[in-house]
Amino acid sequence: MSFCGNSDNSVKLSTLITCPQGCKMQIHLEQIPSHLQNECPYRCIFCLFCKTPTLYINLQKHMEECKAVPRHFTRVEEPTVGEQIKSIKSCQSTGTCDCNQSKEYQKQVKLEKKYNIVEKELSVLQTQLCQKANAFPGTEESKVNYNADNNQPNFSTLEQLVKKIKKVSAFLKNLEDDVSTTKDTIYKKLNEQTTQMKKFTDYVFELLDNANKSMILTLQKQQTELMKHNTHLQHLECKNSHIGVHVWKVKKFSRLQQEVKHGHCQKITSLPFYTNEYGYKLCLEMNPNGDASGEYLSLALCIMRGGYDAILKWPVTYKATFILLDQLEGKQPFEATLHSVPEPKYVNRPTSDKNSALTFLQFFLIEDLHPHYLINDQLFVKAVVTFLNDSDVSCGSMPQVQN
């Protein structure tokens, strides 16, 4: 077995070292290969008869116990490998052996050849290893030189290389420990920050939720107050209307016509008004497209459920005069009178929000609204209602209006 090295820096071959196989024998460095192959009692050999691997120190015991050993084979002394081979040759030449020793001999020869081949390949691998070690960048001390003359290793350089490898390994181990510690610290801080962020997020969401609920409650209160104000305003508007007289301002007349035409609504309704402060509650209804032909503007009067219906007389009889006011200086108003019909759905006390509306289907031609009555897309309708039940003002009676 050969080694790579440099004779200038190599260890002395006469240096005594302990057998690496464990026999505790002190051997010169140059004799190690021969000792490991031929002398060390702890070397591994194969039984020539049963092919079982065993230590040389245990060979005598194995030979005594091995059933494949021939009967005439001497077991008193510890035979060496050479003696076993000679014995097999003797058996083969005399023909006295009753076992297949010739085949075992041939196998042993093959094993020796394979061993020699492996030894040569190992030497080649060691040479290649030295060459590859020299290929690494570094100082001259870190390289392993090869001496072809003596085939010996530069042990001092190898020892330095081993020391450096150990230092690098220790450094890498410390670095790995530091990285692991740093990673644990980072994970710990990250978990702490995540927990704090979650708490902060929950707190912010709680504040937002409370603020949202508070805003919703405030908005609901404001909407309730607004509805109360609107109702009160409508009530004031009804009370402030002239008793039995109401003027209705209709805005965006052309748009209302289109909405009714496309079915978005069937009619438009005015604000309620009273015949007097404690009288009947009424409202006007208009269809901008009028009758089925769409030529006439229609108007209607409807009795609504009011707050004083319990003290008023029912059914009622009334006369309603509708006046389309002229917006030009000529002042040519158009009026038409509508009389009540004695049917319960029109004149009885309302059981729902309002009774059926008594309608004037062909009140005025739509095409004649211009230029006196429809200006800036708005018109004014005046209603004068007279109740004819009796002369009691509390019942809503009004004098007939003459034009």
CATH of the domain at 250: 2.60.210.10
Record the tokens describing residue 225, joined without a space.
């107050």
Counting the structural domains of the chain, the total is: 3
Residue 326: which domain range?
Answer: 242-387
Rounded Cα–Cα distance for residues 233 and 371 (Å)? 34
Residue 46 lies in a domain: yes
pLDDT confidence band for 391 (50 / 70 / 90)? very low
Q: Check whether residue 285 and residue 236 sit in a common domain.
A: no
Record the tokens describing residue 67, joined without a space.
């059933």
What is the 3-state composition of the chain as percent helix, strand, coil, each rounded to the nearest 5? 45, 20, 35
Q: Check whether residue 57 and residue 166 sit in a common domain.
A: no
Cβ 287 vs Cβ 267: under 8 Å: yes
Q: Check whether residue 261 and residue 167 sit in a common domain.
A: no
pLDDT digits (tens, 9 = 90+) for 274-328: 888 888 999 999 998 876 677 899 999 999 999 899 999 999 999 999 999 999 8
pLDDT confidence band for 113 (50 / 70 / 90)? confident
Strand partners, 371: none
Q: Check whether residue 224 and residue 249 sit in a common domain.
A: no
Q: Which of 76, 97, 118 is the last residue of a domain?
A: 76
Closest CA to 341 of 291, 306, 300: 300
Q: Check whether residue 289 and residue 378 sit in a common domain.
A: yes
Which domain CATH number covers 32?
A: 3.30.40.10
Residue 228 lies in a domain: yes
Q: Which of 221, 240, 259 is the last residue of a domain?
A: 240
Residue 112 lies in a domain: no
Q: Check whether residue 232 and residue 273 sit in a common domain.
A: no
Q: Which SS3 state, helix, strand or coil, does residue 16 take?
A: strand
Residue 216 lies in a domain: yes
pLDDT digits (tens, 9 = 90+) for 10-50: 445 567 778 877 787 888 777 777 887 788 888 888 887 88
Q: Check whether residue 315 and residue 375 sit in a common domain.
A: yes
Residue 144 lies in a domain: no
Residue 11 lies in a domain: no
